[in-house]
Amino acid sequence: MTIAIEKLAASYRQGQHVLADIDLTVDAGRMVLVLGHNGAGKTTLLNCVYGIHNLSGGRVTLDGQPLAAGTQSRTEHGIAFIPSEHACFMGLTVTENLLVAASAVRSDKTARAQAIENAFSNFPALKDKRAALAGSLSGGQRRMLAVGMAIAQQPRYLLMDEPSLGLAPRIVEDLYESIAKLRVEMNLGVVVVEQSVNPTLLRADAVHVIRTGRQVFSGTGEDFARQDLWELL
């Protein structure tokens, strides 16, 4: 199973070009890292893949078949998206947030309950907070909840927009360790976009760098580190 992004281009109003000729693939069980400075077009890329933003060129396919416009098609095909902000409902409890996520893809009450318990088993710290409002959680706990909500949908692919934003380095490391575990257990294809990089991220199967809307590097994490390409960020 593969998501392929081919010659993707995106524009905003008045012909403002944001992305051009972006090519990358995401296989099941693999992790792809997209790096770039603020404003490089990383979030727009994820929005295009998830169907939030329309393409102005190129295409996004799943196993060779073009995906229909809109987010519903993506959800139905097992693609989950975690935005950098507002990823959970602050006025709902942890359990209620997970229920909302699980209900998006499951009508059976037993299946929804099992999906919620699976999320708690992957993030035990959330189980202790199951009755707490999301707005009362720490930044790291809210990020765990956002991942748990995505996992409750039993996706095949997970798109993550700057999951490390505003978190302490130790929390970021723990979060990525959890994602690495889920990737193996669920055979999950993962796309992560970040502004900065750490050694954990360089374990990604593929690294792409975007600068002002164009792809300026593609390779492995080892390639990126070995060639001293930090100045690209």
- pLDDT tens digits along 143-190: 999 999 999 988 999 999 999 888 888 888 888 888 889 899 999 999
Domain 1-78+155-233 is classified in which CATH homologous superfamily?
A: P-loop containing nucleotide triphosphate hydrolases (3.40.50.300)
- Distance in angstroms (rounded) separating the CA atoms of residues 36 and 211: 6
Residue 138: its H or E element: none
Domain spans in the chain, listed from the N-terminal domain onward: 1-78+155-233, 86-154
Render pLDDT for 35-82 as a digit per residue (tens, 0 to 9). Answer: 999 999 999 999 999 999 999 999 999 999 998 888 988 988 999 999
**What are the residue ranges of helices labelled H in the chain?**
42-50, 71-76, 94-103, 109-122, 124-127, 139-151, 169-186, 221-226
- Residues 201-206, mean pLDDT to the nearest whole number: 82
Nearest Cα to Cα of residue 151 among 129, 171, 175: 175
- Distance in angstroms (rounded) separating the CA atoms of residues 19 and 146: 27
Q: Which residue has the higher pLDDT, 14 or 148?
A: 148
